[in-house]
Structure 1
Amino acid sequence: MGRFTREELQGALSHYNSVVATCVESGDWTAFADLFTEDVVYTEHAYGVFTGREAVRSWIKEVMAPFPTMRFPQDWVAYDEENGAIVLGLRNVLPHPTDAGAEFGFANWTRLVYAGDGLFSSEEDCYNPARDAPAAIGGWLEAGGKPAKEIVTHDERAL
């Protein structure tokens, strides 16, 4: 048996989802980093590996600045009690700018490792933004979407 029960993992994910929803609603992603331990290792394959809560905070505020209200609806969740992990199938979604059409988004898998006390010791996001993001973001821009800040890709080229 692992350190954490399924119920503990479900509660941790519920808290995680609540914080993310608050960030989406406010457009302020500062609190997102507070979901993690001080020594968190956050692996974001398109942007790199961030070690430490403050590195995550700095990165998430910058990367979400153009799209502060991007949502992340979950399609499925798998709990790994033995390893204290949660794996999510989700989508990175921008709402239609006029609310009159379909959302714009792409798939992502996320793996969280729970450390206890409502905190996660790692997150790993697995997706291919180089392949998927241009179509989603391009469609959103064509439909009238306006980024809140200049969009900078992981290789520092502005879109």
Structure 2
Amino acid sequence: MTSSTFSREELAEAFGRFEATVDRAAQTRDWDPWVDQYSDDILYIEHAAGTMRGREQVRPWIWKTMESFPGSYMTSFPSLWHVIDESTGRIICELDNPMRDPGDGTIISATNLSILTYAGDGKWKRQEDVYNPLRFVSATVKWCRKAEELGTLPDEAAEWMAKYGGRK
């Protein structure tokens, strides 16, 4: 374990800014401010996508992920809870990933755990996202089936279903 030099208050304020930045990115669909809150040498571990080192490896990945289905249909990424670990300078949180309303008010989402390690000066030096990818696939299939039932399934979602949803 590494020892942190950051106070609980500083970590809480930094996480509050992280949440606000992520929320703005989700609303504006501009992912650069999200990436810019990482240190230049960020270590980003994403269990399905792999390990990325440095902002300029994270940036194209996050843009591609969030601007193609199903990421492009996720509306926000609020934390449902978080824990501040002062001794390591980490925030551990559960992030929700709700998808847009398919047309009848239904909320379909999946969650992930994120472990963020603070670098100081408002930057994060490490993020690890932990989740079961099959839960995200299941939620996306559920969303697609609901949208199909309602007649609101967009072409990109139908293409995704044809490829990953178990249909021919």
Separation of aligned partners in 2, 1:151 and 1:16: 33
**What aligned pairs does 1:19-34 form with structure 2 within 5 A after superposition?**
19-34=21-36
2:98 pairs with 1:93: yes
> Which runs of structure 1 show a deviation greater than 6 angstroms over 4 or more consecutive aligned residues?
147-152
After superposition, give the CA deviation of every residue in 1:97-126 in whole Å (9 maximum; x if it has no partner).
Answer: 22x332111121000000011000000000
2:124 pairs with 1:80: no
How large is the RMSD of aligned CA atoms in angstroms?
Answer: 2.3
SS at structure 2 position matched to 1:4: coil
Q: 1:84 to 1:23 in 2, by over 3 A?
A: same
2:142 pairs with 1:134: no
Question: Of Structure 1 and Structure 2, which has the larger fraction of its residues in strand?
Answer: 1
Question: Of Structure 1 and Structure 2, which has the larger fraction of its residues in helix?
Answer: 2
* Alignment length (residue pairs): 153
Segments of structure 1 that go 5 or more residues without pairing to the other structure are none
2:58 pairs with 1:56: yes
TM-score by length of 1: 0.86
Shift of 1:150: 9.2
Separation of aligned partners in 2, 1:84 and 1:37: 14
SS at structure 1 position matched to 2:95: strand
Separation of aligned partners in 2, 1:90 and 1:55: 22
- Aligned residue for 2:150? none
**Structure 2: which amino acid aligns with 1:89?**
E
Q: Report if aligned partners of 1:75, 1:90 keep a CA contact under 8 Å in 2.
A: yes
Q: Report if aligned partners of 2:95, 2:113 keep a CA contact under 8 Å in 1.
A: yes
Percent identity among equivalent residues? 33
- Aligned residue for 1:42? 44
- Aligned residue for 2:120? 116
Q: Report if aligned partners of 1:27, 1:69 keep a CA contact under 8 Å in 2.
A: no
Bigger Rg, structure 1 or 2: 2
Q: Report if aligned partners of 1:68, 1:148 keep a CA contact under 8 Å in 2.
A: no
1:7 pairs, out of 1, 6, 9, with 9
Separation of aligned partners in 2, 1:12 and 1:150: 39
After superposition, give the CA deviation of every residue in 1:115-143 in whole Å (9 maximum; x if it has no partner).
Answer: 011000000000011x2112211121222
Segments of structure 2 that go 5 or more residues without pairing to the other structure are 148-152
Separation of aligned partners in 1, 2:33 and 2:22: 8
